[in-house]
Amino acid sequence: MQAYRNALPQLDGKFFLTDAGLETDLIFNRGIEIREFAAHTLLLDSAGRKALADYLGRFLVLAADLDAGFVLDSQTWKAHPHWGGDLGATDEELEAANRESVAFIAALRDEYSRNGGQIVLNGVIGPRGDAYAPEADIAAHEAEDYHAQQIGWLADTEIDMVTALTFTQAEEAIGVVRAARAAGLPAVISFTVETNGALPSGQPLSEAILAVDAATDSGAAYFMVNCAHPDHFFDVFDDADWVRRVRGLRCNASRLSHAELDACETLDDGNPVEFAMQYRNLVRRMPWLNVFGGCCGTDIRHVAELANAVRG
């Protein structure tokens, strides 16, 4: 059942959580291998499914304890054709992976729905290429054609929305919003930024958000920032109207740059308490923020700390 496709509850301002750095937590903290960093491959066997269920279950319990809503992600960030060669997967197998991932999180939603919080099923869309170092510029019409395939797969499931997570180019984000609109799905755009607060393309975050809104008639449900430390973008938020389009944060635990993280062989999980205080400072500046989670290097500790700090 598509519970919230026509009315996302996040837009009403209620406090929502997401999970954290799924891949880095499972790989570094739990010793679980994830082939090609593609989490949907864990759904292929019982051990992988149990690891995912245990991981996500802790966040769902935390949200229930705090009377918070929860945006429950599919494991589909790399379940699209750009990665088919690396994964040895056909389009048919990738389509099946998208459907299976949604069925998996829908079952979790049903299992934890008795806890009372609103659980929104979110189809995760990854960029066409490396999120740390984009390989080529992608025009909006090319991105629309490309992402329409995966978005079409997701639209035919119980998913409530899609999020373009860790996007590096405004033009590609425009394509996602247009493809999602054509499929009847709400779309969220989450950009990643470098240590200077700009996208890897060099475009300022403000310009990227304004460009997406201008090209789509403000078609994105809202915007987020993910896969960057709070220090990297705190100062780019000013009093301009574009800032109010940002509703969510999923930050990295580490202050390292993307290039440094890519070369790092150990996990930098930062300081969860300091991390939470940085979220609190951002909320003081932007009190309309209401969707919070983590990205690389974060785990349940970081999200629990930030949730209490923000609510406190």
Query: Which strand (E) or helix (H) includes residue 37?
Result: none
Residue 128's closest CA among 152, 145, 111?
145
Own/partner contacts of 112-115, CB < 8 Å, gap of 24 or more, are 112/57, 112/60, 112/61, 112/64, 115/60, 115/61, 115/63, 115/64
Residue 258: what pLDDT? 84
Residue 133: what pLDDT? 74
Residue 1: what pLDDT? 67
Q: Which residues are within 8 A (CB) of 175 and not within 5 positions of it... i.e. 6 or more apart?
A: 138, 139, 140, 141, 142, 143, 144, 145, 146, 147
**Within-domain flag for 96:** yes
**Within-domain flag for 84:** yes
Asked whether the beta carbons of 145 and 152 are under 8 A apart, the reply is no
**Within-domain flag for 6:** no
List, run by run, the mean pLDDT of 10-residue segments along the chain (312 residues).
90 97 96 96 97 98 95 98 94 98 97 86 95 84 98 98 97 98 98 96 96 98 97 95 98 90 85 97 97 98 98 80
E strands, the chain, in order: 16-17, 69-73, 119-125, 161-167, 187-191, 222-226, 246-251, 291-294
**Within-domain flag for 22:** yes
**Within-domain flag for 4:** no
230-253 burial, b at 16+ Cβ within 10 Å, e below that, comes to bebbeeebeeeebbebbbbbbbbb
Q: What is the rounded distance in angstroms from the CA atom of residue 271 to the CA atom of residue 302? A: 8
Instruction: Count the neighbouring beta carbons within 10 Å of the beta carbon of residue 312.
Output: 7
Q: What is the rounded distance in angstroms from the CA atom of residue 18 to the CA atom of residue 101? A: 16
Which CATH number do you get for residue 89?
3.20.20.330
Asked whether the beta carbons of 119 and 70 are under 8 A apart, the reply is yes
Q: What is the rounded distance in angstroms from the CA atom of residue 70 to the CA atom of residue 10? A: 9
Residue 224: what pLDDT? 98
Q: What is the rounded distance in angstroms from the CA atom of residue 154 to the CA atom of residue 73? A: 12
**Within-domain flag for 69:** yes
**Within-domain flag for 188:** yes
Instruction: Count the neighbouring beta carbons within 10 Å of the beta carbon of residue 183.
Output: 17
| DSSP one-letter code for 28 | I
SS (H, E, C) 232-274: HHHHHCCCCHHHHHEEEEEECCCCCCHHHHHHCCCCCCCCHHH
Residue 29: what pLDDT? 96
Domain residues for 185? Answer: 12-311
Q: How many domains does the chain have?
A: 1
Helix (H, G, I), strand (E, B) or coil at 166: strand
Asked whether the beta carbons of 9 and 60 are under 8 A apart, the reply is no
Residue 97's φ and ψ, nearest 5 degrees, are: -65, -40
**Within-domain flag for 2:** no
Query: Which strand (E) or helix (H) includes residue 49?
Result: helix 46-65
